[in-house]
Structure 1
Amino acid sequence: MSGYTEAMLALLAINFVVALAGYLPLAAGQLNLGVAGFMAIGGYVSAYLTNTYDAPIYLGVIAGGLVASVIATLLAVPLLRVSGIYLALATFALGQVIQGVLLNLEVVGAAAGYAVNKHASFGFIVTSAAIVLGLVFFLTKTRFALYLTAVKNDPVVSDLFGLNVKITKIQAFALGALIAGIGGALYGHHFSYLEPQNFNILLSIYIALYVLLGGTQTIYGPLAGALIFTLLPEVLRGSDQWRYVVFALAVILIMAVRPQGLITAQLLRNWAGRTKPTEAK
């Protein structure tokens, strides 16, 4: 496998992880435009622990995810008092605050960036991504997934039926931040360098696109979105600046043809019905 192919597959695995970080809050009706900020927290925490205290990479990755999750939990209480576009604006501002703090934090290189000494191999990245995907897939088979859907569809009715809507939203927000922190840590350790500019609002928007255009109804939607929007720019790289035009047109086309996302629950049921073996008469 060439170095370019390996780097692309590693980036795709990381994008699968961060797509799920955007998926969990959206499954509860929360458009989080601060996912890149939580990625930055996870990446810098993990890099600092492995650089300064010689911690193993896997411990650094776990710690990065946990710190991002704890910070998200603390911030969720005031942030989730608003919803809809106001929540999107609040999380956008949060991402900008995190980026601004890192730009001025000398202990991790500030605007000059931060070299990550311990390198995560391609196998480690893929294995970590597979573990995260497996855990989220398991989560979608539990009652918690039903709670998220109920809160998204009608929080008032959910509250009347005894579901603690506020706690459910906080849990979804914190779990998304946990996964985003892991994704950021994997990114930093594989590419061996971090800088605040990598975790800007454009990255958060791309992550939101993975979920919205891939589909929010199943776990497969965000993965399909991440696959398309990771590989499509590379396929179009030979077309020079026109690739940005083609990429934007592809987004518009998908939104026009499939506003509910590329992969929906009904689509999966249809596929399952077609592939189901015919019973013997």
Structure 2
Amino acid sequence: MSGYWAGILVILAINVIAAYSAWLPLAAGQVNLGTAGFMAVGAYAGAVLSGDYEWPVGAAIAAGAVASGLLALLVGSAVLRTRGLYLALATLAVNEVVRGILLNWDAVGGASGYPVIAHIELLPIAIAALCVFLVAAWLGASRFGMTLHAIEQDETMTGLFGVHVSRVQLAAFTIGGVMAGLAGALYAHHFSYIEAQYFTVLMSVTIVLSVVLGGVQTVWGPLVGAAFFTLLPELFRGASNWRYVLFAAGVIAIMALRPQGIVTRAALMRLRRAA
């Protein structure tokens, strides 16, 4: 495999993990625009532990994911009291607070960025993406996943059936934070250098858009959406300056034709009946 395609597959695997980190809150009707901020926490925590403290790279990556999950738990306990646009704005603010701290924190390089000594190749990143997909599929098929879907459909009615809605939403938000931290830590240890400027709100918005485009209703949606957002711009690379114009036109066309996403629950049921 050429270095070019290996690099594309690495980005795809990281984008898949990031997409599932946003999918879990979305499945419960929560729009999290702070995903990039949680990725940054995982990236920097993992990089510092593997570099300054000489932790084994696997342990450092896992610790970065846990650190991001703990931040998500702390943030979620406060911001999940809000709903809709207010929740989106609150998580967007968290993203900018994290980025602002990292930009001004000299211990991790500030605006100059931070070099990452330990390095991992495509295979462990691809395995991590597969594991995240399997975990997401298991969660989606479990009682927890059905509860998330019920909350997304009617939060009030779900609460009347004895479900502690806020705890379920917080669990989804926290697990999503762990996945985002994992994506960030993997990114840091593959590309060997991280900058706070990379983890912008635009990245968070793009991740959410990829999930919405792929479809929130099924576990396959984030995978398809991440693949679309990663691979389609590469197919248009030969179009030079028109590359992203064509990509944007493709996104608009798909959203017009498939407003519920590329993969929907009804479409999967039709495929199963046909099989």
Question: What is the match of residue 278 of structure 1?
Answer: none
RMSD between aligned residues: 0.8
* Structure 1 residue identity aligned to 2:187: Y
Residues 158-215 of structure 1, C-alpha deviations (whole Å, 9 max, x = no match): 1111000110111111111110000000011011110011100111111011110100
State the alpha-carbon separation in 2 of the partners of residues 231 and 155 from structure 1: 36
Residue 90 in structure 1 maps to residue 90 in structure 2 = yes
Give the gaps of 5 or more residues in structure 1: 276-281
Report sequence identity in percent: 46
Within the alignment, does 1:151 sit opposite 2:156 as a pair?
Answer: no
Residue matched to 1:51 = 51
Farther-moved stretch of structure 1 (248-257 vs 24-33): 248-257
Residue aligned with 1:140, SS = helix
| Paired residue secondary structure (1:93) | helix
More off after superposition, 32-41 vs 124-133? 124-133
Matched, 1:238 2:238: yes
Query: Match for residue 207 of structure 2?
Result: 207
Partner of 2:190: 190
Q: In structure 2, what is the equivalent of residue 37 of structure 1?
A: 37
- Look up the match of 1:16: 16
Paired with 1:231 and 1:37, the residues of 2 have a C-alpha distance of 24
- Structure 1 length-normalised TM: 0.96
Structure 1 segment 114-193 matched on structure 2, within 5 A: 114-193=114-193
Mapped to 2, the partners of 1:143 and 1:136 lie a distance apart of 13
Q: Which amino acid aligns with 1:10?
A: V
Corresponding residue for residue 260 of structure 1: 260
Q: Letter of the aligned partner of 1:133 in structure 2?
A: F
CA distance in 2, matches of 1:196, 1:60: 19
Distance, in Å, in 2 between the alignment partners of 1:22 and 1:135 is 14
Which letter does structure 1 place at the counterpart of 2:43? Answer: G
The alpha-carbon deviation at position 267 of structure 1 amounts to 0.6
Q: In the TM superposition, what is the alpha-carbon distance from 1:139 to its structure 2 partner?
A: 1.3
Q: Which runs of 5+ in 2 are unaligned?
A: none
Question: Counterparts of 2:46 and 2:245 in 1: how far apart (Å)?
Answer: 37
Match of 1:279 in 2: none
Q: Distance in 1 between matches of 2:21 and 2:116?
A: 23
SS in structure 1 opposite 2:141? coil
Q: Distance in 2 between matches of 1:18 and 1:82?
A: 23
